[in-house]
Chain A
Amino acid sequence: MAGDFLYTSAMSHTAGRPTALFDGYRIGAAFDEMFSAPMRPRPHYKRLHEHLAGMATSEFHQRQQAADLAYLRQGITFNDYRDELGLERPFPVDLVPRIIDAQEWSRLEAGLKQRVHALNLFVHDVYHEQRILRQSVVPLDLVFGTAGYRPELRGIKVPNDVYLHISGIDLIRDTDGSYTVLEDNVRCPSGVSYVLENRRVMKHVLPNVFDQYDVRPVNDYPQRLREVLDDIAPKRGREPVIVVLTPGINNSAYFEHSFLAGQMGVQLVEGQDLVVDGGLVHMRTTRGLRRVDVIYRRIDDDFLDPVSFRADSALGVAGLVGVFRLGGVGLANGIGVGVADNKAVYHYVPAMIKYYLGEEPILANVPTYMAGSIDDRAYILEHLAELVVKAVDQSGGYGMLIGPHATSAERSEFRERIRCNPHGYIAQPTIQLSTHPTFVGDGMAGRHVDLRPFVLYGRDITVLPGGLTRVALRSGSLVVNSSQGGGSKDTWVLAGDGTSQC
């Protein structure tokens, strides 16, 4: 019966003598997470490698199928918008975990906290004194000229001055292995549900490997998130009523919305479930209206409130922004935080860190050329074949040109677009993302990965020990987005250095 609807991928089954998983594994130009040299695993990967090397390809294949089936059964899927039928696909999980030792993690953690701290101060500044803009540390037009800026929020006090309750910072590793920030996601970063589900499935499918490491748990994330949300409720002397606001089952991240609501023990609502009445937000229940204190919204600003923003939005709640401005409801993340994560402002985050915190940035940026500046523009147009060009206000792998892999027609299309709207584009050198052994059906092969850790900002800033390792499943591909054929891996942050048996 199970075989009837197995999620089948293009995998070949090797008959006869069992083959070893790492036969023929090659290290390319990129930094390899597991190996420092051919067949020389890094110290913290050593035991994982030993375990896997002793496994037959066919056995691993079976476990991979078990994991895929579990995901399909549980409906851990995402929707691809370009798929006309609206089919859900299981989010592919690769069973070779990515491992980060304690020392490396503590540096990452410090860097992430520092970055989110500065970004939050930036958002607060933009909606209040605007010092950083007046002093031209960040150019005015990168803020006021963009869709992320919401003048409705000028001078509005938010609880504890926190705007970025949940953020996901995308990190990559260059050829020398140094971690670099690729992108800040501070509006509705998604993927944390996969972090938790990947872990659950890994424990189930490869318990023996798991036993050998002292892996820090991730499953308290929903509770921590709930505490953050509790904190931004208007004070009322009773347990706050929290909801997760989803655009609905057609949204690609719907699984996650539902998952988080369930794990936090709060209600998942759609816009049609909420109504503003008497200056407060309520949900419609079988017993009449019930007041809502905090909304973890997974809907962009544009759709949040047809009165304030897009008038044709059927997903939002009319009057919600007004209630928020008067402190009648807590929102996570805050409104107008898009000013902090457009791809042009990204360039100035190291400067923000120095400006607000007086510290050197712990995590570096990828060098960025701003098409809006004349010199940079000339450079970009000249070196289009080597660069990655990104539209400032898009993400998810959309609106992007990867120069070395693009056709000349695509390049000339982007050349034209940049000329017409220079402020809308930035460019970065093509970076070799690190590779990680990934099961490809007949053994292991190196595939490019990135890392999205999740940062919570409540009373203080905490980083979930782990994160979503996204992997580009196509050979040679650098695009890891789930919407573009990416998968994911469980990410193990160790309590120690991973070399001693625990």
Chain B
Amino acid sequence: MLSRVAESLLWMSRYVERAENMARIIDVNFRLMLDAGVSGNHTAAWEPLVDLAPQTRMQFNEIYPEITPDTVMQFMTFDARNPNSIATALRNARKNAQGIRESISREMWEQINSMYLQLTGSGAFASWEADPYEFYRQVQFGSLQFQGTTDATMTRDDGWHFIQLGKCLERADSVTRILDIKYRLLVSPMGGDSVDAVQWIAVLKSCSAYEAFRRSQDSARIESRGVARFLLLNPAFPRSVMFCIDEAWNALKEIAGNQSRRSDSAADRSLGLLRAQLEFANIDDVLADMHGFLDGVQQQINRVGDNVHRLYLYGQLRPAFSNLAAQAAQAAVDQQ
């Protein structure tokens, strides 16, 4: 498989997942706002979203005068200047897919293209204004549909494994970010137990984990310990960090599998380390320094990404030309 194609598959998958996670987070916050709990304090509820990634806060402050549900939602949903907005993620996902159309199935391309056209096109803003709940649901379903389509139409070759790898790393990363934000918010004195429970339910819902959590052994009480354990360490729930890292591990094994010389590469080592760290983690230790733990996981995920990039993808080989696009336009314009 071409390195460029592998890279695009991985990022296509990551961006679709990113759009979905962003939609989940906003969706849950939006619905939380409708509950009585935090109605008095919108800033407290929406501010954390702006802090999801380190750079976004600066970006936000440059554009918007203040944090309101509307400004944050617009910023996180449509703003092209926000590298993590849903629109940006969908645009990037499509751009990556477009460059490798012949390497994915027609159905996958059509799904990604339809999603992009529908959710970022001219009618998107109006449909969001009319029914935000429905809009975010469409983003989530679009992503799930894409994953189903991929599952049903894609050959299980390296390309498939790069897609899984991208998806799992992105998902694990985003779960740690959601936990981190809410944890900071919840351990600070903000309300009583009932607010806590409402907030933790919201966290679970933003990971589609509420029902699954309820059915699990941790479910007697909805409080930080059980929720954190479920979302971080549950080995069977497909949106837990442990599960995602496990899947990423399998994907990387498959990719490396046919080339034994690479089986103890830096990529494998960094991912294996992370996996062991999660597998043998003690929830009380984690809770003692939640932020530190989550930060460590995020950094390790980044390290895995870098190592995969260096080993299989372009790494240092990308040409240093900046005029690629302009030349591409001219290069065969003559015989249209």
Interface residues, chain A, with chain B CB atoms under 8 Å away? 1, 4-5, 72-75, 78-79, 81, 168, 185, 187-191, 247-254, 258-259, 261-262, 267-273, 283-287, 298-300, 302-303, 312-315, 394-398, 481-483
Q: What residues of chain B have their CB less than 8 Å away from a CB belonging to chain A?
A: 1-6, 95, 98-103, 106, 109-110, 113-114, 117-118, 121-124, 127, 158, 255, 258-259, 312-314, 317-319, 321, 323-336
Contacting residue for B332 out of A188, A261, A271, A312, CB 8 A: A188
In the complex, the chain B residue whose C-beta lies closest to that of A3 is B123
- Tell me whether A286 and B329 are in contact in the complex, defined as CB-CB below 8 angstroms, given that A73-B117, A253-B336, A300-B334 are known contacts: no
How close is B123's CB to chain A, nearest CB, in angstroms?
A: 4
B317 proximity list for chain A (CB < 8 A):
272, 284
Q: Which 10 A/B pairs are nearest by Cβ-Cβ distance?
A: A314-B321, A262-B102, A247-B328, A4-B123, A247-B331, A250-B328, A248-B328, A258-B101, A261-B102, A286-B312
Give A244's nearest chain B residue, CB to CB: B102
CB-CB under 8 A from A254, the residues of chain B are: 98
- Asked whether, in the complex, the Cβ of B113 is within 8 Å of the Cβ of A251, the reply is no
B99 in complex: contacting residue of A5, A249, A299, CB < 8 Å: A249
Given A74-B110, A286-B158, A482-B336 in contact, is the A315-B324 Cβ separation under 8 Å?
A: yes
CA of A447 to CA of B35 in the docked complex: distance in angstroms? 61
Q: Determine which of A5, A188, A252, A262 lies in contact with B118 in the assembled complex, contact meaning CB atoms within 8 Å.
A: A5
- Beyond A73-B113, A314-B319, A396-B335, whether A251 also contacts B102 by CB under 8 A is no
Q: How far is the CB of A274 from chain B (nearest CB, A)?
A: 10
Taking CB atoms, residues of chain A closer than 8 Å to B1 are 285-287
Given contacts A268-B102, A285-B2, A314-B319, contact A396 B121 (CB under 8 A): no
Can you offer 22 A-B residue contacts whose CB atoms are under 8 A? A5-B117, A5-B123, A74-B110, A78-B336, A187-B332, A247-B331, A247-B332, A250-B324, A253-B332, A258-B98, A259-B102, A267-B5, A269-B4, A273-B4, A286-B158, A298-B332, A303-B330, A314-B319, A314-B324, A395-B335, A396-B333, A482-B336
Beta-carbon nearest neighbor of B315 in chain A: A284
Q: Is the CB of B101 within 8 A of A185?
A: no
A97 to B288 CA separation, bound complex (whole angstroms):
72
CB of A267 within 8 A of CB of B2, answer yes
Q: Please name all residues of chain B whose beta carbon is closer than 8 Å to the beta carbon of A72 when the two chains form the complex.
A: 117
Contacting pair B329 A188 (CB below 8 A):
no
- Besides A248-B324, A284-B4, A300-B332, 11 more A-B contacts (Cβ < 8 Å) are A4-B121, A190-B332, A248-B328, A249-B98, A286-B2, A286-B158, A287-B1, A287-B259, A394-B334, A395-B334, A481-B336
- B2 adjacent to A251 (CB under 8 Å): no
B-chain residues with CB within 8 Å of residue A250 when the two chains form the complex: 324-326, 328-329
Which residues on the B side are within 8 Å of A261 (C-beta)? 102
For B329, the chain A residues whose CB sits under 8 A away are 79, 81, 247, 250-252
CA distance A314 to B95 in the complex (A): 20
The reply to whether B334 and A73 contact each other, CB–CB distance below 8 Å, is no
**Given A187-B335, A285-B2, A396-B335, A5 and B121 contact (CB-CB distance below 8 Å):** yes
Instruction: Report how far A72 CA is from B110 CA in the complex, Å.
Output: 10
Contact A272 B318 (CB under 8 A): yes
- In the bound assembly, the distance between CA atoms of A343 and B297 in angstroms comes to 64
Shortest distance between the CB of A259 and any CB in chain B (Å): 8
Q: How far is the CA of A285 from the CA of B330 in the complex (A)?
A: 27
Residue contact B110 to A300, C-beta cutoff 8 Å: no
Closest to B262 in A: A287
Q: Which of B109, B255, B334 has the most CB of A within 10 A?
A: B334
Cβ contact of A252, chosen from B4, B114, B333, cutoff 8 A: B333
A273 to B317 alpha-carbon distance, docked (Å): 9
**Shortest Cβ distance from residue B255 to the other chain A in the assembled complex, whole angstroms:** 7
By a CB distance below 8 angstroms, the chain A residues around B314 are 284
B197 smallest CB distance to A (angstroms): 37
For B101, the chain A residues whose CB sits under 8 A away are: 75, 258-259, 262, 268
A475 and B44 CA atoms in complex are apart in Å by 60
Q: Considering the chains assembled together, what is the distance between the CA atoms of A75 and B124 in angstroms?
A: 18
For residue A319, give the distance in angstroms from its CB to the closest CB of chain B: 14
Query: Closest B-chain residue to A7, C-beta based?
Result: B117
- Give the residue of B110, B113, B117, B335 whose beta carbon is less than 8 angstroms from that of A189: B335
Asked if B99 and A248 make an inter-chain contact with CB atoms under 8 angstroms apart, the answer reads yes
| Cα–Cα distance between A315 and B329 once the two chains are bound (Å) | 11
Pick the residue among A74, A253, A313, A394 that contacts B327 (CB under 8 A): A313
* CB–CB A251/B332 < 8 A: yes
B124 to chain A, nearest CB (A): 8
Pair A303/B121 contact, Cβ less than 8 Å: no
> Do residues B2 and A396 form an inter-chain contact, with CB atoms below 8 A?
no
Contacts of A190 in B (CB 8 A): 332, 335-336
A73–B102 Cα gap in the complex (Å)?
16
Q: Which of A78, A285, A315, A481 sits near B331, CB closer than 8 Å?
A: A315
